Amino acid sequence: MPKALQNIRVIDCSTVIAAPFAAGLLADFGAEVIKVEMPGKGDPLRTLGPYYNGEGTRWATFGRNKKCITLDLHFEEGKELFLELVKKSDVLIENFRTGTLDKWGLDIDTLKKANPRIIVIRVTGYGQTGPYKDKVGFGTPATAFSGMTYISGYKDRPPVSPPFSLADYIAGLYAALSAMISLYYRDVNGGGGQQADVSLYEGIFRMMEILLADYQFNGVVRGRAPSLNGTSSPGGTFETKDGKWVVLICSTDGTFEHLTKAMERPELMEKYANNADRLKEDVYMNSLVSDWIQGLDYELLAEKADKYGVPVSLIFSIEDIMNNEQYKFRNNILKIPDEQLGEVMMPGIVPVLSETPGEVKWSGPAIGAHNSEIFSSLLQVDEERLAYLKERNII
């Protein structure tokens, strides 16, 4: 079966999460992704926890479907080989600090001279321009800068950062989207190569229109709230009679009507049919829902919610996920052979495409596992030169 991105070659010379995640998404759908790493070191993500038998467990997923080569761009010979690779590629994804490639003699003009059609995706903490362009970029500080951390948590406690690298993954999605937009512009609309400037903070800030609108029109500086404060009511986190934690949300008036039927409280529609009216008495509305849910075991609650179309979900742990039939049916968890770890569970392919589905062909390879294939076959480097490059630790 043909792959959606077959014949697209991507150079991934990035590290850790955001940009490598973007390259991995393209690799899932058939792009040939060549990951360029420093000889002997590799991507730092290879050694990040959690660990199993002393091995980092995340690389197996992040490196899946990628071909790994080693190349030191500090050397002139390394830069020459890199430009040869650029000539034969469609997309370059990098996340060096702003201006790093320029300092190494691999500025955009040099890249375009090697390949006028090259698409360069740059991922940094704060973007390629502006007074923050040289700041070190990591996901947790970028999330704080985006405005998200300020509104996360409870009013009487410190702000809460996401417990995983949310900003990096969102930026990775935008980076992959940038690559696809640029490829469409180049290959369908007759354009040329271009650069994409993706920052860690802007991906989250793009989702913060509610903060802007409330501040602009109402002068409200939103603070910490554990639910969708000020947008819809009722909604939040509730505990069932048998000690299960669930979330419930009524984002539309129709959903609230369904809830009143499930609660057997149709009279609530007389006064609270409109969301604006419910928001005025949000505390009261949530107390009604809390009392109702506290009187039901989770299984009965789920039965009633599903019957009437009320959006309720158990708050799933990873153990719950592992045993869930929906996750199993959708192939959300794959088991992939791995040289270091034996067999690795990893998230499945997203999105699900009918005609060109993605696949996981292999887990994260060893450092330099594809040196021979790429340097000898693709770039036509002879054995004598390869030996010289290895001796000098350039590859």
Q: What single letter denotes the amino acid at residue 374?
A: I
The token pair at 127 is: 């973007």
Contacts of 390 (CB under 8 A, 6+ apart): none
Exactly one of 168, 197, 253, 277 is catalytic; name it. 168
| Distance between CA atoms of residues 306 and 296, nearest Å | 14
Contacts of 112 (CB under 8 A, 6+ apart): 118, 193
CB of 213 within 8 A of CB of 221? no
| Distance between CA atoms of residues 24 and 339, nearest Å | 19
| Distance between CA atoms of residues 189 and 201, nearest Å | 30
- Give the HSE-up count for residue 80: Cα atoms under 13 Å, Cβ half-sphere: 7
Strands (DSSP E) contained in the chain are 9-12, 32-37, 51-52, 55-56, 66-70, 91-94, 119-124, 195-199, 235-239, 245-249, 312-314, 333-338, 342-347
Q: What single letter denotes the amino acid at residue 127?
A: G
Residue 168 known to be catalytic: yes
Q: Would you say the C-alpha torsion 255, 247, 215, 134 has a positive or negative sign?
A: negative
CB of 78 within 8 A of CB of 4? no
Catalytic residues: 168
